[in-house]
Amino acid sequence: MTAGDSSSDSIASLVGLAPLEAVLFDIDGTLCDSDPLHYYAFREMLQEIGFNDGVPITEDFFAEHISGKHNEDIAEFLFPDDTPRGQKFMEDKEDMFRKLASEQLTPVSGLYKLKKWIEDHGLKRAAVTNAPRPNAELMISSLGLTDFFEAVIVGSECEHAKPHPEPYLKALDVLKVSKEHTLIFEDSVAGITAGVAAGVATIGIMTRNTEHQLMEAKPTFLIESYDDLKLWAALEALEEKGA
């Protein structure tokens, strides 16, 4: 048994989605393990400007205050008294991330197996992210998924970013699908919170965040990767119910 709950509970929780219409994915940490690159960029650049008296930020600090959050919120947290400086810092950090990502990005294990299953079943799909659009498009392209996604919904282009449900509600509207027959994959507390608030079954993937952290956001269940046997047992049951 993998994390979150039992396989039988996982199967039961997805069967009700039949017939499945669409699958929505976050990008950072969900399609690819990009958090180490973000963490490296933040750590190096914050140390360079003397943040925290020059003591490098820890992975725990990154996970709690930065990972999965919208850039405007991160900038406000890091530079509460200097908005322009915060905005410029985030722009420079994203430049550094894109340079790293263009050379080092790798997919989450099992992603292409799931991609084929989605294509074989003719499901609609969209990427829904808090990342800036240039980052999102770079990551999607680097992973060879440009033609896979029918839409890319970006938090900064909505009135509210995740953890607000608006980006996911917008994706449902763009794809013309119902929340009762859609599935979301997310790796962060903010993302799972957004999916659950949108009323969509949301599977948490433990790319970097712990079971304890993610379960606080009340995902449908958790998986370790797209190779997780629990996921495939649930998808098989969903497929049989839909047939």
Flag whether 74 is in a domain.
yes
CA-based end-to-end distance of the chain: 27
User: 159 and 123: one domain?
Assistant: yes
**Nearest-angstrom CA–CA distance, 58 and 73:** 19
Q: How many domains does the chain have?
A: 2
For residue 201, the cross-strand partners are 183
Contacts of residue 21, Cβ cutoff 8 Å, sequence gap at least 6: 123, 124, 175, 177, 178, 181, 182
Q: Which pLDDT belongs to residue 243?
A: 67
Whether 54 maps to a domain, the answer reads yes
Structural domain contains residue 188: yes
Position 118 in a domain: yes
Burial class (CB in 10 A: 0-12, 13-18, 19+), 225: middle
Residue pair 23/183 in contact (Cβ under 8 Å)? The answer is yes
Report angle CA 154, 160, 162 to the nearest 5 degrees. Answer: 65
Q: Which of 75, 104, 133 is the last residue of a domain?
A: 104
Residues 172 and 221 in one domain: yes
Among the candidates 58, 86, 104, a domain finishes at 104
What's the whole-model pTM score?
0.89
* 204 part of a folded domain: yes
- Tell me the residue length of the chain: 243
- Written as six digits, the tokens of 148 are 């896979």
- Rounded Cα–Cα distance for residues 148 and 162 (Å): 23
User: Do the domain assignments include residue 24?
Assistant: yes
**pLDDT of amino acid 87:** 95
What are the tens digits of pLDDT across the range 88-119? 999 999 999 999 999 899 999 999 999 999 99
Are residues 142 and 91 located together in one domain of the fold?
no
What CATH number does the domain containing 202 carry? 3.40.50.1000
28 labelled catalytic: yes
What was the pLDDT predicted at 70? Answer: 87
- The single residue of 9, 26, 60, 95 carrying the catalytic annotation is 26
Residue spans of alpha helices (H) in 81-165: 83-104, 111-120, 133-142
122-137 in b/e burial notation, b at 16+ Cβ within 10 A?
Answer: ebbbbbbbbbbeebbb
Residue 6: its pLDDT value, please?
62
Exactly one of 28, 33, 35, 228 is catalytic; which is it? 28
Helices (H), 179-228: 189-197, 211-215
- 27 & 40 share domain: no
Residue written as tokens 């956001």? 217
**pLDDT tens track of the chain, all 243 residues?**
344 456 778 888 899 999 999 999 999 999 999 989 999 999 999 999 999 999 999 999 998 899 888 899 999 999 999 999 999 999 999 999 999 999 899 999 999 999 999 999 999 999 999 999 999 999 999 999 999 999 999 999 999 999 999 999 999 999 999 999 999 999 999 999 999 999 999 999 999 888 999 999 999 999 999 999 999 999 999 999 886
The last residue of a domain, from among 104, 129, 161: 104
- 189 and 222 both lie in a single domain: yes
Q: What is the DSSP letter of 223?
A: E
pLDDT of residue 5: 53
Looking at the structure, tell me whether residues 26 and 112 fall in a common domain. yes
Q: Where do we find the tokens 């240039």?
A: 134
Structural domain boundaries, residue 50:
35-104
Specify whether 169 is located in the same domain as 94.
no
Pair (50, 140) in one structural domain: no
Decide if 82 is catalytic. no
Q: Tell me what pLDDT residue 12 has.
A: 86
The verdict on 159 and 175 lying in the same domain is yes
Q: CA triplet 86, 74, 190: central angle to 5 degrees? A: 165
Please check whether residues 149 and 29 belong to one and the same domain: yes
Are residues 20 and 53 located together in one domain of the fold? no
Distance between CA 142 and CA 145 in Å, rounded? 8
1 in a structural domain: no
Q: Is residue 2, in this structure, part of any structural domain at all?
A: no
- Describe the chain by its helix, strand, coil percentages, rounded to 5: 55, 10, 35
Nearest to 24 by CA among 231, 194, 230, 184: 184
Same domain, 139 and 218: yes
